Amino acid sequence: MTHLTEHQVAVRLVISVNTVRAWRKTGYGPCFRKFGRAVRYSLTEVEAFEQAQTRRFLRLFELEVRRRL
């Protein structure tokens, strides 16, 4: 299983490391694991989070298209 650092997650999601940390503190974002002081994110969890966000965006987009029709 591949694990990503905070920085790698931030780069992948095009957000700041501070946003990754804020999401973690509020329970938003991909699930994480702690190994001692190190915080790591499973690549599988990050990909699942990306997919969930895509679906949410598509639903909003579909609603907007329907409103215009």
The DSSP code sequence of 5-69 is: -HHHHHHHHT--HHHHHHHHHHT-SS--EEETTEEEEEHHHHHHHHHHHHHHHHHHHHHHHHHH-
Check whether 64 has a pLDDT greater than 90: no
pLDDT for 68 equals 72
Provide the percentage of residues in the chain whose pLDDT is more than 90: 71
pLDDT beyond 70 at 16: yes
**pLDDT greater than 70 at residue 58:** no
Whole-prediction pTM value? 0.75
Share of the chain above pLDDT 70, in %: 84
Can you give the residue range of the structural domain that contains 24? 3-68
What's the domain count of the chain?
1
What's the token pair of residue 35? Answer: 């190994």
How high is the mean pLDDT of the chain?
89
